[in-house]
């Protein structure tokens, strides 16, 4: 296995273009799949060498080379040599902490996307997808192997689909559209979580709810950092004059751009909702504390005059005539009951209780 670091700081001191994987350790061995298709056929095969890709290239066929897992430094070097990919681009593919971006080169385009997956535990995981677009050829590089592109594979096997009749630029659009669609699924999950938190908060604010709100706030910052740069990426794609992106494909990229703006606006509204939930929690805690302090103040106010009476008649003076009265003790107890009753009646009339 090639050298690997969890964070970019591990590459300190290495020369530019050094091919070192930066990210989580691969869960399984790398796998490369080649899908070749045209309007009349669609075939899938495993790639064992770069020659498998070079031998299948033709003018009437689109190739999709899907690389799963980034434990493939030697293979990536071979791809760079065979297709004249800049070493810094290869370095960015292996560095999974990249910001979403779009770069133009003479013979190819380079894009970086972020997929996001979350559940009701509010744990959001991200994955980097790197894309190399050539004439009639698309490379996609992923960190792991799962069913993210399963729907896209099914569309390719369907002879009636539009994707089979268009080029590699449309396939690039399809990949980006799939990533953005997953953002909508994540947004729905966040909306459900926010609604549940709001109901619990209105019922009874608890410290656990505050911790959940803080976690959701941190996750939302993480999500916006992954999604917001995609707006700039899609704008750059639409402004690109590269012949690799056909004029008839631009409307599809504009559609993805509109969807991205919707997701960003949704996340901004969620941020406002979460800030509102935080304000509600703090206000609820403050109101509850005020209620407690009000009750304690009422008790203290009631016992102040009682304490005064007890203090007066607890003094050790010899000449205190009340101490020798026959009814002094029951009269004093009468005051002990009348004073609190009078104070409570006064508080109720003032609507302090």
CATH assignment of 31-68+98-283, given 3.30.460.20, 1.20.20.10, 3.30.465.10, 3.20.20.120?
3.30.460.20
Structure-block tokens of residue 86: 């800049």
Between 346 and 257, name the one with better pLDDT: 257
Q: Give CATH for domain 291-349.
A: 1.20.58.340
Strands 31-37 and 42-46: antiparallel
Task: Identify the DSSP state of 95.
Answer: B
**pLDDT at residue 24 in the model:** 64
Q: Per-domain residue ranges for the chain?
A: 31-68+98-283, 291-349
Mean pLDDT of 280-297: 83
* Low-confidence winner among 95-99, 127-131, 264-268 (lowest mean pLDDT): 95-99
**pLDDT at residue 1 in the model:** 45
**pLDDT at residue 206 in the model:** 80
Mean pLDDT of 324-332: 83
Q: What is the pTM of this model?
A: 0.77
The pLDDT tens digits of the residues spanning 26-61 come to 545 678 888 888 877 888 888 888 888 888 888 788
Q: How far apart are CA 75 and CA 57, in angstroms?
A: 18
Residue 102: which pLDDT band, with cuts at 50, 70 and 90?
Answer: very high
Structure-block tokens of residue 208: 């656990």
Structure-block tokens of residue 112: 């970086």
Residue 256: which pLDDT band, with cuts at 50, 70 and 90?
Answer: very high
Structure-block tokens of residue 342: 């009078």
Structure-block tokens of residue 210: 């505050």
- Yes or no: say if 179 and 115 are a contact pair by the CB < 8 Å rule: yes
- Yes or no: say if 129 and 175 are a contact pair by the CB < 8 Å rule: yes
Q: How far apart are CA 350 and CA 335, in angstroms?
A: 22
Structure-block tokens of residue 35: 């899908």
């Amino acid at each position: 296995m090639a050298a690997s670091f969890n964070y970019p700081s591990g590459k300190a001191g290495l020369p530019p273009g050094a091919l070192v994987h930066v990210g989580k350790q691969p869960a399984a061995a790398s796998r490369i799949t080649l899908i070749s298709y045209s309007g009349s056929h669609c075939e899938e095969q495993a790639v064992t060498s770069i020659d498998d890709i070079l031998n299948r290239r033709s003018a009437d066929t689109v190739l999709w080379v899907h690389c799963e897992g980034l434990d493939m430094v030697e293979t990536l070097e071979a791809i760079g040599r065979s297709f004249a990919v800049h070493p810094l681009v290869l370095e960015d593919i292996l560095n999974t902490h990249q910001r979403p971006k779009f770069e133009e080169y003479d013979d190819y385009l380079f894009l970086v996307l972020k997929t996001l997956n979350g559940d009701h535990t509010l744990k959001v995981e991200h994955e980097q997808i790197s894309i190399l677009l050539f004439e009639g050829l698309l490379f996609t590089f992923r960190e792991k192997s799962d069913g993210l592109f399963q729907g896209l594979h099914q569309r390719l096997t369907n002879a009636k689909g539009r994707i089979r009749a268009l080029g590699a630029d449309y396939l690039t659009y399809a990949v980006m559209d799939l990533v953005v669609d997953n953002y909508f699924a994540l947004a729905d999950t966040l909306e459900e979580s926010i609604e549940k938190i709001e109901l619990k908060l209105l019922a009874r604010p608890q410290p656990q709810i505050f911790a959940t709100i803080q976690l959701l706030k941190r996750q939302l910052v993480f999500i916006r950092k992954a999604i917001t740069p995609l707006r700039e990426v899609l704008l750059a794609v639409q402004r690109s004059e590269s012949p690799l992106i056909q004029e008839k494909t631009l409307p599809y990229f504009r559609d993805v751009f509109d969807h991205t703006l919707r997701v960003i606006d949704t996340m901004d509204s969620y941020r406002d909702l979460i800030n509102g939930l935080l304000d509600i929690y703090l206000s609820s805690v403050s109101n509850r504390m005020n209620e407690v302090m009000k009750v304690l103040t009422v008790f203290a106010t009631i016992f102040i005059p009682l304490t005064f009476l007890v203090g007066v008649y607890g003094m050790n003076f010899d000449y205190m005539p009340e101490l020798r009265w026959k009814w002094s003790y029951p009269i004093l107890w009468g005051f002990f009951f009348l004073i609190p009753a009078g104070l409570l009646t006064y508080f109720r009339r003032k609507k302090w209780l």
